[in-house]
Amino acid sequence: MRVSPPLVFAAALLAAVTAAGCGAGDGGGKGGRPSSAPSGAPSSQTSPSREPDAWIPGHVAKMSLADKVGQLFVPTFSSRADAVEKIRKYRVGGLIYFPENISTPERTAAQSNALQKASKIPLLLGVDEEQGIVSRTPFVTRFPGNMALGATGDPSLAKAAAQVTGTELRAVGINLDYAPDADVNVNPRNPVIGLRSFGADPAPVSRMVAGAVSGYQAAGIAAAAKHFPGHGDTATDSHTGLPVIGHSPAEWRRVDAPPFKAAVDAGADMIMTAHIVVPKLDRSGDPATLSKTVLTGLLRNELGYQGVITTDSLLMAGVRQKYGDAEVPVRAINAGADQLLMPPSLPRAYRAVLNAVRTGKISERRLDESVTRILRLKQRRGLFQGTAADPAEARAAIGTAGHRAVARRVAEGAVTLVRNDDGVLPLKGRKVAVTGPKSAALGAALRRNGIQVTAPGSADVTVLTTENAGRATASRVAALGPKPVVVAALGRPYDLDAADGAEAALATYSSSAVSVGALARVLSGAVNPTGRLPVPAAGKPAGHGLGY
């Protein structure tokens, strides 16, 4: 059956959502998808005080088992035809975009519209657009990323950056961002989080997470805080292995839990699980994605979260080591997950869940709980009122002067001056050599800011840029000889741990063009550095930062 309610109900529901401020106004674009609130929804005589999503439980009760199971899945797709087949055959609840699915803003908007048109229930069209080192969308306004935002110490900037990104994604029909990262990066050797984290101190990280969640959702797209119960203290990448974290319950509540509680309190539409084992939280040895103790016990019951829980990608090694690909989806649902992201084989996973419900391994009540949460999320984001993006207007909404100004504010506010011996900075009046990653771009930016850039042999001072060089930073500083050296860490600030031989040290947390430009303005003295270390580095604690 195709979902098509009476138009009178659609108008009443749209008015109710708009009045309640639930996100309908964020959404459809001109000529949006016609209202698709399911048949059996309340009539136009419904009391105005009735909640806009009050129709959902009744509709879920009338859905077929196949339709319900489909809502749990968010697969990848190789082409528009492949996506449409998955929508029609498996009734999927959403799809995730990767760079191969994204071209121009106009084409992406048109593709989003075509996918929504193929589905009888609006789709969650998601993307991993964290900004910084995890960015899938080639045309959005570029931001430095979370650790740079953490260095600004300003949650309002986290909100503004997320709102810019969310607005641009919604312009091309994407309505879910798998962001922000809510992990507290307390392990400098963490291979998978690092710069994706706002920092190492749970209190400021919590404030930034809350700001980002508010910004994405103010733009009309769902936010997904990740990776619960916290991926910040691991030296193993869960894409390639199964990390084990030794945090005790008390340590988890002190370090890892606060940002997720902040996301819950901020009304996050979604929280993503981590494929990690925390033995002191759950002795079973199961990854958190498959742990009822973690997802239902801690996230649902202790933190009080009532939104959608999504797994991280089920393609990742961390969730596939202990159980087979058909058993993992069933265990994830019974643990408390609502959506299953990127199953290795959609047909196999779909059949496994369908059979598990038919045989009672997953109760129908448990299935209905997940489907109800998913539809309520779609209702909150206004998807039942309209999903269409306007291809003709998509490009104009992206990279505006106002959006670029926000990115510049973030980049400049992030630059952290960690050491400045003998007042070597700012560089005005000195001849400067630049070497290392992005040296050509930085040299050009310094020239634009009035700095004389010259060859190393004739320079008064050398600026050495590094990008995740680690211990090699020390030998690179030493190789530059006796003249003063300024080290600028364009990636992880932990490079500065090995920069003792340099007279000055800074961190930008990003090698993006906007960050390189901000670094040049700080080095030249055009901008006073105001950033503060969000993680310990260079022997200094989190919160340290100098100015001119």
Residue recorded with tokens 């996100």: 23
Torsion-angle region of residue 40: left (phi > 0), alpha (psi -120 to 50) or beta? left
460 catalytically annotated: no
237 catalytically annotated: no
3-state secondary structure of 466: strand
Residue 407's contacts (CB-CB under 8 Å, 6 or more residues apart) are 141, 142, 143, 144, 161, 164, 514
In total, the chain counts a number of residues equal to 548
**Are the C-beta atoms of 227 and 382 separated by less than 8 Å?**
no
304: closest CA among 277, 271, 334?
271
**Are the C-beta atoms of 518 and 422 separated by less than 8 Å?**
no
Residue recorded with tokens 């193993």: 236
Measured CA angle at 57 (ends 54, 63), to 5 deg: 135
DSSP letter (8 states) at residue 141: P
**Are the C-beta atoms of 427 and 443 separated by less than 8 Å?**
no
Directed axis angle between helix 346-358 and helix 327-335, to 10°? 60
Report the alpha-carbon distance of residue 227 to residue 278 in Å, rounded: 13
| 485-489 and 124-127 beta bridge pairing | unpaired
Measured CA angle at 235 (ends 188, 131), to 5 deg: 65
Residue 484's contacts (CB-CB under 8 Å, 6 or more residues apart) are 422, 424, 460, 461, 462, 502, 503, 504
Tokens of 389: 């993006």
Tokens of 116: 């929504």
3-state secondary structure of 191: coil
Annotated active-site residue in 26, 183, 256, 312: 312
> Which amino acid, 201?
D
Largest Cα–Cα separation, the chain: 83
**Are the C-beta atoms of 136 and 128 separated by less than 8 Å?**
yes
430 burial via Cβ count (<10 Å: 0-12, 13-18, 19+):
middle
Q: What is the dihedral of CA 83, 84, 86, 91, to 10 degrees?
A: 130
Annotated active-site residue in 82, 237, 239, 325: 239
DSSP letter (8 states) at residue 299: I
381: closest CA among 265, 168, 219, 179?
219
Instruction: Give Cα separations from 126 to 73, 97, 169, 337, 534 (angstroms).
Output: 12, 6, 9, 17, 29
The set of catalytic residues is: 239, 312
